Amino acid sequence: MIDDRAEGFLKELKSFLEGRNVALFSETDESQWIQGDGADSLPIVEIRSMEQASVSGIILSNTCDIAPENRRDLPSKVTFAPIIALSVFESFLQSAGVGAAKIESKFQEIRAQRVTNIVFLPMGAGLAQDSIALLDDLHSIPVDLLPPAEEKRSFSLSQIGHYLFLFKLSFHFCRLHEGLERG
C-alpha cells in the first residue's frame, strides 16, 4: 500500500512540475487550522503606511505549532503568505509598465509552478478565480487573531496538494538551485 502512495505521489509531482492540474484541494472536517489551509480575513499592517487591512492567505506554520491544545510558555504566532487573484497581479504588472507579451510569458511560468516565490492556486474549492500565494511577502500574527477555521477557511489542501506545497516552500527557501556553498 505504501508503494502505491509513493508511486501516486511521484506521478502527481511530475504532473505538478509539468504544469498540469493535480487535485490540490480536498474537503476537510478539521475544526482547527492546518498547514496549507486557505484563510479569509487575516489581519496585516502595510509597513510603509502603517495601514491595517484584511487579506486572504495560505498558512505556512506547522499545524502543531498553531494548535490550541499545544500550550506554550510564550504566545505562538501563525505565519501566512497573502493570496491574490491572478487578475490583480496582472494589474500590478501592467501598472509597473510590464508589456502584455511578458505578462503572458510570466503567467505561463506561474501556472507551470516555475516561479519560485509564487505558488499557483487554480480556481476552485473556495477560490473564485485563479490565484497566487506570494512566498516573498510573509506575515506573522498572534495565533489568537486567527478567525475561527469553520467560518473563514476558504480551502484545504489535499494530501498531494500539501506535499506539493511543502516541496514548493522547500525549493523557495532552501535555494538549492543557486549552487551557493557555505563554508
Tens digits of residue pLDDT in 2-56: 566 667 666 766 666 565 666 788 888 889 999 999 999 999 999 999 999 999 9
> For the chain, what are the domain ranges?
24-85+114-173
161 CB-contact burial (10 Å; exposed 0-12 / middle 13-18 / buried 19+):
buried
Record the cell numbers describing residue 155, joined without a space.
480551502
For residue 177, the 8-state DSSP code is G
* pTM, entire model: 0.86
For residue 128, the 8-state DSSP code is S
| % residues pLDDT > 90 (the chain) | 61
Rounded Cα distance between 151 and 40, Å, is 9
Output the CATH code of domain 24-85+114-173.
Answer: 2.30.30.110
The pLDDT value given to residue 107: 97
Which has more pLDDT, 6 or 125? 125
DSSP 28-83: ---SS--TT-EEEEEEEEETTTTEEEEEEEEE-S-HHHH-TTS--SS--EEEEEEE
- Over 90: is that where the pLDDT of 96 sits? yes
Record the cell numbers describing residue 142, joined without a space.
498572534
The pLDDT value given to residue 71: 84
